[in-house]
Amino acid sequence: MSEKNNQLQALRHTTEHVLTQAMYQLYPGIKMAMGPAIENGFYFDFDPGEYKISESDFPKIEKEMQKIIDADLPLHREQISIKEARQLFKNNEYKQEWLDEIEQKGEPATVYWTGDQFVDLCAGPHVKSTGEIKAYKLLSIAGAYWRGNEKNKMLTRIYGTAFLSQKDLAEYLRLQAEAKKRDHRKIGKSLKLFLFDEEFGQGLPLYRPKGATIRKEIMDFAFNTYLKRGYQPVSTPHIANLNLWKRSGHWQFYRDSMYSPMQIDNEQYVLKPMNCPGHVKIYQAESHSYRDLPLRLAEMGTVYRYEKSGELNGILRPRGFTQDDAHIICTPKQLPGELVEMINLTEYIYNKFGFHKPLVSLSVRDPQNKEKFMGDNKSWELAETALENALKQKKLNYRRFKGEAAFYGPKIDFMYKDALGRNQQLTTIQVDFNLPEKFNMTYIDEKGKRRQPFMLHRALLGSLERFMGVLIEHTAGNFPVWLSPVQVKVIPISQEQNLYAERVGEKLKENDIRVEIDTRNETMQSKIRSAQLEKIPYMAIVGRKEAQNGTVSVRLRSEKDLGEQPLGEFIERIKDRIESKALEL
């Protein structure tokens, strides 16, 4: 972590303590639970008791915070015994629970005093005094279960942020305001892309025609690209026998994210959380030699994972989603080439959506704790070296994270910056030693001996839902023409041109262009405004002159006027941009 990030973390942690102290002074009797610094700020969880606190109280709270900041109170760290700490927080069951954990670890308790007025159980870090806080803002309020467990009490959480300067804070708040405008849930509703229905079930998106069109275009482009690059399509059911998940290890290690079994004919079945075991079974349906490999199996497979209700976030984090999944089974010699090809494929696909220059992380095992990772040393060394060499060959900058590999293999993750500068984790390439071993996957090598192949997981777009949510926010709903659910809106100036507008629409449809015709008895400007709000790329305006000339007057959703064009020329313009997957109109 950089020095600036360390400063920010300490500053934000201190600002959270100031918030907590201000809350105590304004609302006597509330109980503080926890309040860490987080990536872009901090939050404070508390039990409000009899008080009802909302965002309308923020000005009052910030005013109280400013008094504490102006007092320039020093922060002082003190190490005390568990017994002393229990006495200090004797009326707070939340702190007592934290102390239980600290005691179980055999560690002393540390507290931080703000002046001599306020104390909290805390490991730090903090700045020297409250006077160092120059730029801060309370952002929002929400409910949060104690320790994220739905079985625990619902607490109140206040989010805030702090920066080293007012300029940095102002820029952050500007981006936050823009992020609200771009919220995929808001845009998804206004553009009629998808919906969630409580009766249907939390976290289960329903795609409306326009959203389903975008989803299909993304799937078709990605999947057809895979087929051209040597992948083979497979499809696996939505449920599988519980014994399969026990054998794969998912039931033991992934149980909390899996739905409860259902009874069918005296056997138990589970909704699949992953597609991997199904692909393993397809591989095992026949014997393989080294000549058959690599085998690349691809599936847009819908999976189901239990996410806590408080963690659901539109289609960015639903409970049912379709994974852009592929598994490559290969020999050790083939591993380096397959990894380079996967990176090439990732770059090609993401460039078409306007994402470039990924931030890459390489997660490897900790050589000092090899017992935590399955698989032999030779396989780990080969896999880690192959992953690292592939990144070097592609001249990609990456960070190496020791000990961050999954227990079953090393991986590389790709993050792309969106239009707001946020890093979005989108692609993972994972080596797996677990499933080949658990399912005894083999192939016959050049010498006629049975060998265990390497298995690579590759979720290129991740989940279609998450990718689509990121894309909506990245584009603010202004999709490139090839993805737009409606590519052209034909707008007759008056009712007299409705018949010509219909003919224009038919000609566009004949060329596989998605079109709508606005024959409402409204003004032209009203129709243009509606098309712009719907973020339709092209408007083909037709009046008496256009009808006589066999032309259309073209406007873009950006309000740029391209003037009158022959209909055939307009059609070719659109077809060219669709076929090339152009980002610009």
Q: Which residue reads 């007592």 in tokens?
A: 96
To the nearest 10°, the Cα dihedral for 394, 217, 311, 419?
60
Which residues in 481-581 belong to E strands, given as ranges? 488-492, 515-517, 538-542, 551-556, 561-566
CATH for 18? 3.30.980.10
So which residues are the catalytic ones? 276, 305, 323, 325, 327, 411, 457
CATH code of residue 290: 3.30.930.10
Mark whether 492 and 412 lie in a shared domain: no
Structure letter (DSSP) for residue 357 = S
d(Cα 240, Cα 274) in Å, to the nearest integer? 11
Assess if residue 352 is contained within a domain. yes
Over the chain (585 residues), the average pLDDT of each successive run of 10 is 79 94 93 87 92 94 96 93 90 91 88 89 90 95 87 92 95 94 97 97 97 98 97 97 94 91 95 96 96 97 91 94 96 94 96 94 87 82 92 94 88 94 92 91 96 94 96 97 98 95 97 97 95 97 96 96 96 96 94
- Please check whether residue 335 is in contact with residue 386, taking contact to mean a CB–CB distance below 8 angstroms: yes
Residue at 243 is within a domain: no
User: Do the domain assignments include residue 481?
Assistant: no
pTM above 0.85, yes or no: yes
492 shares its domain with 441? no
pLDDT attached to residue 377: 85
Give the pLDDT confidence score for residue 258 in this predicted structure. 94
* Residue 280: per-residue pLDDT: 97
| pLDDT of 2 | 65
Q: For residues 58 and 173, state if they share a domain.
A: yes
Residue ranges for the known binding site for Zn(2+) are 276, 327, 457
6 contacts 125 by C-beta, under 8 angstroms: yes
Looking at the fold, whether 304 and 441 belong to one and the same domain comes out as yes
pLDDT at 284: 96
For residue 470, being part of any structural domain is answered with: yes
Task: Give the pLDDT of residue 117.
Answer: 82
Q: Is 325 exposed, middle or buried (0-12, 13-18, 19+ CB in 10 A)?
A: buried
Is residue 136 within 8 A of residue 161, CB to CB? The reply is yes
Q: Same domain, yes or no, for 287 and 358?
A: yes
| Residues 203, 301 within the same domain | yes
Which structural domain range is residue 72 located in?
Answer: 3-177
Asked if residue 262 belongs to a domain, the reply is no
